[in-house]
Each structure stands twice: as C-alpha cells, then as structure tokens.
Amino acid sequence: MRKITFILGIFLLFPPITWAQEKVEAPVWNVGDKWVFTQGNIQCVDSGQNNYSMKFSNDTCVLENQGFNTILFDKSTLNRIGVLEKAKRKKYTMGSRRILNFPFNIGKQWKDEYSGKQVLETLGLTESYDEVFTILGWETLEVQAGKFRAIKLEYKHIITHSPSRFATFPERKSIFWYSPDAKYFIKCQYDKSYPDKVKDWELVSFKGKK
C-alpha cells in the first residue's frame, strides 16, 4: 500500500515537470493582429502561404525593426526571412533574424551571425556580429497589458569585428519575455551599455484572434 501511495505521489509531481519541458510551437498570426508597446507597434498586414508580413511603426525601437518598416517572417519558425522596400522583396540579413526560432523549449540554445552597417551610428562602418540565444525558463510577470506566463529568453549580441574605435562594448546581453497568450514578446530589458535612445519596452495592448 505504501508503495502504491509513493508511486501516486510521483505521478502528481509529473504534470509541472512535463509542462516545463513542453515544446511551444510557433503561434498563428492573423491579418489585423496588432501589438502596441511603450515604444511603437507591430501589425500583421498579410498572411501568405509560407510567411507573414509584419509592419513596424516608425517609432519602434531601431533594434527591433533594424531600420525596416515591413519584415517577412517564416510561418513555421518565425525566423525573419525578408523585407519589403518600395514593394520589392529582399532577403533579410540583419540582426535578430532568428530571435524567434520555434519550437521553444527550456534549455534550447541557438546561434546566428551577420554583418552590416552600424544601426546606431552614422559612420557607415561595417561590423560583424555573433548572436547567441538561450531559453532560460518560465516566469509570471505583469506588464501594462496584464499578467502573463512567459518564456524568458537571453540574447547575447557579440561584436566579432569592428573598424570603429567606438566599439567599446564587444558583448551585450538583453532579456526578452515571450508569451504564448500574446503570441509575441511582452517585455524587453536591453543591456545597459546601449545608448540612451535604446529604452526598455513592454506590451501595452494586444488585439487579435485567439
């Protein structure tokens, strides 16, 4: 009898453990879905066979839109795969290309690299970067849009080559929180070494289909 009771107790412990290890698949975005943040907003303006077109407002943080107004996301992973410039599609080659890289599960880590002109400077210098993404775990946090259970994601941005004498911070670490209910990030805390114009942001409201 004691053995049966012990086994039942173990099974009662399994649900939270299983949930913590559960894979979170890419959400479905619908045309009209809109996220409003303390810095700018994002809206789904088109849903094709394999990708979504997401429009970023001009006041969205430049680290999020990378200087583009419309970015294309792959439907299966939500990786950034293209941009639209004057109705012409081009391949996406800038930062945060794989910051959304579904499925998500605790402990998952992935890397990416890219080269490009400095987003925050006007010197026109080309730098090379590594990006390292790590899913740390689940947290419950409250933002202006409400309280959410969210996945905590660590993002390391590493300068691997720079001709600029201003590259005094070769590595920066920021934290993002992704909510399955909101279908996007609900909060970001940037590395404090970024210039003052780069400010932390959080979700103010979300309008979309469940």
Q: Dump pLDDT digits (tens) for 137-180.
A: 999 999 999 999 999 999 999 988 877 655 566 789 999 999 99
Would you call 166 helix, strand, or coil by DSSP? coil
Is residue 128 domain-resident? yes
Q: Any idea what the CATH number is for the domain that residue 51 is in?
A: 2.40.360
**The pLDDT value given to residue 87:** 81
Cβ neighbourhood burial of 181 (10 Å; 0-12, 13-18, 19+): middle
Is residue 4 domain-resident? no
Is residue 85 domain-resident? yes
Is residue 1 domain-resident? no
State pTM to two decimals.
0.85
Q: Residue 161 sits in which domain range?
A: 28-207
Strands (E), 15-170: 34-37, 41-47, 51-56, 70-74, 80-85, 88-91, 109-117, 126-143, 146-161
Is residue 162 domain-resident? yes
Is residue 152 domain-resident? yes
Is residue 16 domain-resident? no
Give the number of domains in the chain.
1
Per-residue tokens: 153:
């994601």
DSSP state of 158: E
Is residue 127 domain-resident? yes
